[in-house]
């Protein structure tokens, strides 16, 4: 089967629209002009991603997945549906990289599919719908239903992005959206008059000071090695978020130390350990 590409993807969208409007037998697809790709290849792809099926009367008809794609409000939105349906149909090996972030997927996915990510606005954008797409993809990769936990983390990251933009007057970079292997979530600057890099690790709790956060070995090593580093702890247990900004030295006393041949890999720290550091933040 021809690899999924922008030409095949747009052909699937066009064929789906035709089938929705006119009765069409599978053999009738050959009479259609669906771009540079042979019509049979478009039909094969649409059947593969389960957008179309052949009814008992022999005519093509949209499936529930196809109906969902038809209901998407724009070509870009339809492409996003197509990407997920293609992944569900093929379960490609590179999908496992989605749990490591967008950058890893874009580096290892087939070049034709990478172009679809670009066409669908998924390669660079950071709006809520795009973030939700990548989080859904990561959940598929992990094979677990942890969307709620992921969204809590994203809430804190969004708050840090807004807080840092107001504090420094410059747009910070949402590093965690592209990769979670860098050991921090947001790249900002020291302040309005100092453009030196400030790396920020964000932790979020919906349980207030009763919550905990985890620091991985990688995150801690980045915190220790960075010239300027901050931990942002967000308490989002109420409508008005509270923030504690900590430097690595304040967190260090709660981190374990290696002993003998052993190396610690993760530590759980209570938010309550820094209760006095929290301040209400008004971002609206």
Question: Are 157 and 129 part of one and the same domain?
Answer: no
Low-confidence ranges of the chain (pLDDT < 50): 144-145
Torsion, CA 65, CA 70, CA 72, CA 76, rounded to 10: 100
Tell whether 127 is covered by a domain. yes
Question: Are 128 and 48 part of one and the same domain?
Answer: yes
How confident is the model at residue 41, as a pLDDT? 94
**Count of domains in the chain?**
2
Question: Are 101 and 194 part of one and the same domain?
Answer: no
Tell whether 147 is covered by a domain. no
How confident is the model at residue 145, as a pLDDT? 45
How confident is the model at residue 162, as a pLDDT? 95
Given a contact cutoff of 8 angstroms between Cβ atoms, the answer to whether 138 and 150 are in contact is yes
Q: In terms of residue numbers, what domain contains 30?
A: 6-142
How confident is the model at residue 114, as a pLDDT? 94
How confident is the model at residue 265, as a pLDDT? 80
pLDDT in tens, 169-197: 999 999 998 887 888 999 999 999 999 99
Spatial separation of the C-alpha atoms in residues 39 and 242, rounded to whole Å: 57
How confident is the model at residue 149, as a pLDDT? 64
Buried b (16+ CB within 10 A) or exposed e, 148-162: eebebbbbbbbbbbe
What is the CATH number for 205? 3.40.1350.10
pLDDT in tens, 111-166: 999 999 999 999 988 888 899 899 888 877 776 445 566 778 889 999 999 999 99
Question: Are 138 and 158 part of one and the same domain?
Answer: no
Given a contact cutoff of 8 angstroms between Cβ atoms, the answer to whether 68 and 82 are in contact is no
């Amino acid at each position: 089967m021809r690899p999924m590409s922008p030409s095949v993807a747009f052909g699937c969208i066009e064929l789906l629209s035709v089938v929705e409007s006119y009765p069409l037998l599978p053999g009738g697809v050959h009479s259609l002009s669906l771009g540079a790709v042979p019509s049979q290849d478009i039909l094969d792809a649409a059947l593969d991603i389960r957008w179309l099926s052949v009814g008992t009367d022999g005519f093509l008809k949209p499936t529930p997945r196809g109906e969902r794609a038809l209901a998407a409000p724009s070509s870009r939105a339809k492409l996003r549906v197509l990407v997920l349906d293609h992944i569900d149909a093929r379960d490609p090996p590179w999908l496992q990289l989605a749990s490591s972030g967008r950058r890893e997927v874009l580096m290892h996915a087939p070049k034709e599919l990478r172009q679809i990510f670009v066409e669908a606005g998924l390669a660079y954008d950071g709006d809520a719908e795009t973030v939700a797409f990548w989080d859904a993809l990561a959940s598929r990769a992990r094979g677990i239903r942890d969307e709620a936990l992921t969204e809590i983390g994203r809430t804190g990251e969004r708050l840090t992005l807004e807080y840092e933009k107001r504090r420094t007057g410059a747009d910070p970079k949402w590093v965690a959206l592209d990769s979670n292997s860098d050991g921090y979530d947001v790249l900002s600057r020291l302040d309005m008059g100092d453009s030196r890099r400030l790396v920020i690790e964000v932790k979020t709790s919906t349980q207030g000071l009763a919550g905990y956060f985890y620091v991985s070995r990688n995150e801690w090593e980045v915190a220790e090695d960075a010239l300027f580093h901050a931990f942002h702890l967000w308490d989002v247990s109420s409508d008005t978020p509270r923030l504690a900004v900590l430097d690595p030295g304040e967190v260090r006393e709660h981190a374990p130390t290696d002993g003998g041949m052993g190396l610690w890999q993760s530590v759980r720290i209570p938010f309550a350990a820094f209760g006095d550091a929290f301040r209400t933040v008004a971002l609206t």
